[in-house]
Structure 1
């Protein structure tokens, strides 16, 4: 059972605005305030549910607030910025009940990818048939980088979104030191790797991938989600050659805010409004989409430079360069998405009648009735031949890790999500996909 989290905080009084010390505890889906540790009289309780919000206060790194339905907002101050992140993580973790799943329940076949916060492993439930891409995320690294929200954001977006061209979440669980996301395993590898081998695509092949990616992005937007990290590394190919978007650590759910201003993403695909640090919305994804279609057609991104600062300058002030022999239809199509002004930039739905599509049947595409030109070779799904050998040659194991500072027990109650975990031993489901970040 995941334990509780407690400590000394200061809270701001509702009437006179004075800060007073109190002993607080996260326990059994409640945030409890006591008069003191020595005098455990309960002064206030806040029920923690899926709508509860715990966020740091901008420009005040030691302060955070808790908001929950039918409750007055609570403003608190911790001893350090790291301690703020620990409290927020503990509160967020209460939103979904825990289960008893551990990595000991899985056979680990291979490492598929690795990033700063963890890695992705190809796994199979012991006694089961299906393969999963399990992403492990170090809690201590999230706390240190003040990124505790990313694991929950990723989980929550994936729980919300269901689409044939978006990777699905099957389950989630945690240990003292890590979060684990059990993702659909997509054995065809990254579109990035295919483009590296293949080079520029034919317009027919680019049209196919652009169509499936566009349908996936449009669905995300219809659900209020800004993707914010479209790039070929985050587009996977299934065993039939269809795409799956993955990696939702940067995704933004706009249910409460229609715009945001966080500077995030990958340099070559950033929209100019992000670089200018302006408020932005869904239009940034269509800029990245234009960059990706350009890359599929011409072999590199439209504003490429080996210097990041020059990339940003080119994105802000230059028009994209097109080769002299470029197809005018492709030039016109891509240019609609690379308009500097987001208000003038086209969306996928606005441009479905463009000549680039050549009367493509989008309903047939959505239902996977149009066959891709390229079908990845998958002889044995347990052998990830379509992934980078830099990772697949690693010893397949779940490494030891250090818990976040000041954590004495497995306190992040609630991250877990069972999904179809109980039925994994005896059912056959579609193959599933990794999250490579």
Structure 2
């Protein structure tokens, strides 16, 4: 069968199994099994067992449940309420009000986690209930969280940057530095969109709190001290070289427990509920990751990513058209694979073409991270969509629809990066 026929069959299988009500992780595993059984000589059962065990027992993955647990602790104690009290005076008078806490919270936490799923889940645990309680519209609340959650990949430290740096043999430290400006600009684009949306939908935003003087705002910012201390401990341990990301996540959990105890908002009930809540959410994410890992293996054996990459490489395009083609290629590929798998499976074929076109590999790394971010919010295999579906119980098509404006903002960011490459290259050049 041709690649198009195989791809069509697998897409139809995916939607058929999802439509029958099967869990997402099991659906991904089922589609992978069908693909490997029909179009590969490798035994599907053996491959599934080895891959799912390997993906589930990864030490690096340990950071994810710890960050999710940290978010649960923050959500169930006074720390999340404190974050809102500290941020509210500064953003409540802006058009969009407290919706900006989604963007600001994800921007801050992105500098801690390095994971889009962890950023989305942790901040969502804090902001979704609070914004719903205050009467903010559900569609823009969920959409802005899904979009801003992708900043976990772009703002360093980033797992995807590490994978790309190893694959492309470029400095990971320079990649980290290169991601700072693009990450802040993308966060600004998200907040700018929220401002425009709020101005066009004034009746949907709750009225702002009573105005405060600058002194009052600074005084209210004292509520941010616990959260700032926690983030400083996690970030500081990473950048000082004292702890890895996984160890820093453990520091975050311990720190959030200590702060909750100091604030007298930690009880046996909240501790138990936070632990059970984190376990449930992580089990959902881990099952999806395991299914995605098996689907990636299946796609690798069938050869679809390699064939697509070779097709793009053989088109002989100009640098700009090459970037447009690669954007489309990775967006399509992101509908079926997770970000790390996309990078690992395609770099060997894509990099020679990129180097021939004369593109800077540090710049190209930031480009790759942004298009992988876009893949996090494209159905049917969009991890941020899955995380929010598990948290909100909404249909994935609804979540994808309300997230669409933020997808287009990322497309705009790719254009900005092309026309102004210094956004990504200036800071690393100073190292």
Fold shared per TM-score above 0.5: no
TM-score in terms of structure 2 length: 0.25
Q: TM-score if structure 1 supplies the norm length?
A: 0.24
Which structure has greater strand proportion?
1
* Higher alpha-carbon Rg: 1
